[in-house]
Chain A
Amino acid sequence: MRISGQVLDGAGAPVPDALVETWDPAARAFARCPTDDDGAWAVITPRAPFLAVNVLARGLLHRLVTRIYFSLDDPDAVLAAVPQDRRQTLLAQPAEDGYRFDIRLQGRDETVFFDV
Chain B
Amino acid sequence: MRDANVHPPLDSPDYKSTRLRHPKQPLVYLPHTMAEKTGPQLGDLRPGPLDHDLTGQHAGEPLGERITVSGRLLDDGGRPIRDSLVEIWQANAAGRYRHRWDTWPAPLDPNFSGAGRCVTDAEGRYEFVTIKPGPYPWGNHPNAWRPAHIHFSLLGGAFAQRLVTQMYFPGDPLFPFDPIFNAVRDPKVRERMIARFSIETSQENWALAYEFDIVLRGPEETPMEEEH
Contact = CB atoms under 8 A, between A and B. Distances in A.
Contacts of A40: none
11 contacts: A25-B38, A25-B159, A28-B38, A54-B162, A63-B163, A81-B29, A105-B21, A110-B25, A112-B25, A115-B27, A116-B36
Contact of B30 (A15, A61, A86, A116): A116
B15 A23 contact: no
Contacts, number: 122
Interface string B1-41: 11100011110100111111111110111111111101111
A110 to B, nearest CB: 5
A23 B39 contact: yes
Interface string A95-116: 0000000000111001111111
Contact of B228 (A60, A62, A77): A77
A64 B227 CA distance: 21
Interface of A: 9-11, 13, 15, 21, 23, 25-26, 28, 30, 50, 52, 54, 56-65, 67, 76-78, 81-83, 86, 105-107, 110-116
Contact of A76 (B3, B32, B159, B227): B227
B183 interface: yes
Nearest to B160: A116
Given A52-B159, A65-B160, A116-B36, A10 B21 contact: yes
Interface of B: 1-3, 7-10, 12, 15-25, 27-36, 38-41, 159-160, 162-164, 180, 183, 225, 227-228
Main secondary structure, interface of A, reads: loop
Cβ-closest 8 pairs across A and B: A59-B17, A30-B40, A115-B27, A59-B21, A114-B30, A10-B20, A52-B35, A9-B20
Contacts of B18: 59-61
Contacts of A113: 23, 25, 27-28
A6 B208 CA distance: 43
Nearest to B21: A59
